[in-house]
Structure 1
Amino acid sequence: MPDNKPKLEDAQVPAMAQSNLTIMQAVNFPEFVPSESTWQMWLERLEVYFTEVAITLDDSKKATLRKSVGSEAYCALHSLCSPELPTSKTYKELCVMVHTQYTPPTITFYERRQFHLARNLAEESVAAWFARVKKLALSCTFGQHLEVFVLDKFIVGMSNELFERCCEEDGSISLDAALRKALLYETKLASKACTMVNFVNKSHHTQVAKGKKRQPCSKCGWRNHSSQEWKYKDSTCHNCGKIGHLATVCKSTSL
C-alpha cells in the first residue's frame, strides 16, 4: 500500500513560510513623512528593517518600499514613473527618484558658513554641542579632512572656560580624546559650581541665624520680636503712667 503520510520536510515548509510571514507583518515600520524626517535617514532605517527580516530579493524590497513610503511620497513616485508604473522600476531606481524629489541640492559654502558660525550655547551640554557639530558637518563635504574640521569647531566654539582648559592640550589631540577631556572638565566645573552654591547657601543660613539674635524690644524687653512688632502698644506703664511701654523697660526715675 502507498504511504500517504506527509513527509516531514513537506509538513515543515508551510509552517516556516507562515512563521516568516508573521515576523514580517509584526514589524510596524513607520511611513516616510517628508516633514518629519529626511529621506536619507528614513532609507537607512528601511535598510536596517530589511536586515532584521532577512529581505534580500529586489522584488521584496521594492514591494516593501512602495507599501511603506507613505501616500504623499508614493503619489510623487507614481507621477515620476509615468507613463510607466512604479512596479516596472527596480528598487534602486525607485530610491533614486524619491531621493531626487525630497532631497534639496546642497549648497556647500552655505553649509560650511553655518558650520563655522556655530557656537556652543549657554544651556547646551558638551555632548549636545559635539552632536550638533557632527550634524552640521554632514553636508560640508570636508572629505578626508572631516575629523580635523570637526575637532577645530568643537574646541574653538566651546564656552570660554572649557575652551581655555582645552587650550592646555597639545594640538595633536584626537577628536575622541578631546571629547572625553571636555566631558571631564564639564563634570568638574559642575561639581565646583555645586560646591559653591552649597557654600553660599550655608553662609546665608548662618547669617540668618545670627540675625535672629535681636536686640531687646524697647517696649517690653523681650527678644522674640522687634519694637515695631510689639502688640500691646496701648499698655500703660505702672511706673510712669505713660502709654506705650512696660515698667520693666521704663527709663523714668520715679520707680
Structure 2
Amino acid sequence: MPVNRNTTEQNTRSNTYRLHEFDPTSYDWDDWEILFDTYLAVKCVTDDIKKRNLLITALGVQPFKTLISVCKPKKPTECTYEEIIQKLRTNYARVTFSSTERINFFATRQESSQTLTDFANRLRDKTVTCKFPNDFYEEALVTAFVGGLKNEFVRKHLMQQNLEAFEQTLNVARTFESVLIQGANVKRDPVEQFSVLKIQKKNKLVQSTRHKVTCSSCGSMDHPRSQCRFRNVTYHKCNKEGHLAKGCR
C-alpha cells in the first residue's frame, strides 16, 4: 500500500511539536494561551477532557499549586476545561485598560540600540493590548512608527509620503535610512572638509616657496638674479659689484 508522503510529513511535524510549560516568570498568560491553543490544533485535540488534562500537565510547579487552591473544594480534574481556563486567566492574565495602553503605545520611542525592524516589531507587540479596531490598525501603527523614530531626517521624509500600509512605511524608512548612511560615508563633514582644504593650501604654499630661487644680489625670492635691478650695484662694505647687504658673502 503506497504511503502518503504529505500525511507522513504532517504527522512527523505534529509529533515533534513540543509545548512549553506555563511559567509566569517566562511567559505572559495571554501569549502562553496562544501557544497552548496552537498545540491543541497541531495535535488535533478537540475532546474537552483531554484538553483539560493536557492543560493541567502543562503547568509549572507554582501555577499548578495555584490551580489546586483556586479549584477547592474540587480537584482540578473535577473541573471542566473552560472552568480551569477561566480560573487561570483570572490569576495570571494582565489587567489592562485599552485607553491607557493606547496612550503608552503612541508615546513609544525608538531606542538608540533598536533597528527599524526591531522598533516595528515592538509596536506590533504593543497593539495586542490596545484593541484597535481593524479599520484603524494600520493607521495606528504608521502614526506611532513615524512619530517615534529617532532619526529626524527619516521621520520628515515619511511625513511627506502618502503611506497607508505599515509594511510599506517600514520599507520606505529602511530604503531612505540606507541612502542617508551611504551618503554620510561619501560626503565629508563641512568643517572637516574646510580643514583639509586649508592644510592642502598651506602645503602647496610651502612647496612653491621651496622651489623658488633666492636672488643672490638682493636676497629676494620673487625674481631671479638676472632680473634684479641691483645686479650692477657696488656694495660699499666689500666694494664688490653685483649685490646688496643681503647678498654679501
- Residue in 2 that maps onto 1:177: 168
The equivalent of 2:106 in structure 1 is 116
The alpha-carbon distance between structure 1 residues 53 and 142, as it changes in their structure 2 partners (threshold 3 A), is closer
Distance (whole Å) between structure 2 residues aligned to residue 34 and residue 110 of structure 1: 23
1:187 aligns with 2:178: yes
The Cα of 1:56 is off from its aligned counterpart by 2.1
Task: Normalising by structure 2, report the TM-score.
Answer: 0.64
Q: Distance in 1 between matches of 2:36 and 2:186?
A: 48
SS of 2:129 mapped into structure 1: coil
Among residues 6, 22, 25, which one is paired with 1:32 in the alignment? 22
Q: Which of 61, 84, 90 in structure 1 is aligned with 2:80?
A: 90
Cα distance between partner residues in 1 of 2:138 and 2:51: 34
CA contact (8 A) 2:138 2:164 kept: no
Over 3 Å counting, the alpha-carbon distance change for 1:162 and 1:50 in structure 2 is same
How far apart, CA to CA, are the structure 2 residues paired with 1:76 and 1:185?
Answer: 52
Pairing partner for 2:92 from 102, 117, 135: 102
Q: Note the C-alpha offset of 1:173.
A: 2.8
C-alpha change, 1:196 and 1:122, in structure 2 (3 Å) is: farther
1:58 matched to 2:48? The reply is yes
SS of 2:155's partner is helix
Matches within 5 A, 1:1-255: 28-144=18-134, 145-158=136-149, 159-170=151-162, 173-196=164-187
Q: Which protein is bigger by CA-based radius of gyration? A: 2
Superposed CA RMSD = 3.3
Q: Which residue of 1 aligns with 2:214?
A: none
Q: Report the TM-score when normalising by structure 1.
A: 0.63
Deviation at 1:130, TM superposition (A): 0.9
Aligned residue pairs total 188
- Which SS does the other structure have where 2:105 is aligned? helix
- Following the alignment from structure 1 to structure 2, what is the Cα–Cα distance between the partners of residues 176 and 77? 42
Structure 1 unmatched ranges of 5 or more: 1-19, 216-255
2:103 is paired with a residue whose SS is helix
- Opposite residue 160 of structure 2, the aligned amino acid is E
Structure 2 spans left out of the alignment, 5+ residues: 1-10, 208-249
Partners of 1:77 and 1:120 lie apart in 2 by 39
Amino acid in structure 1 at the alignment position of 2:169: A
Q: CA deviation at 1:124?
A: 1.6
Partner secondary structure for residue 130 of structure 2: coil
- Residue 67 of structure 1 deviates from its aligned partner by 0.5
Q: Answer whether contact 1:111 1:140 (CA < 8 A) is retained.
A: yes
Give the SS at the match of 1:31.
coil
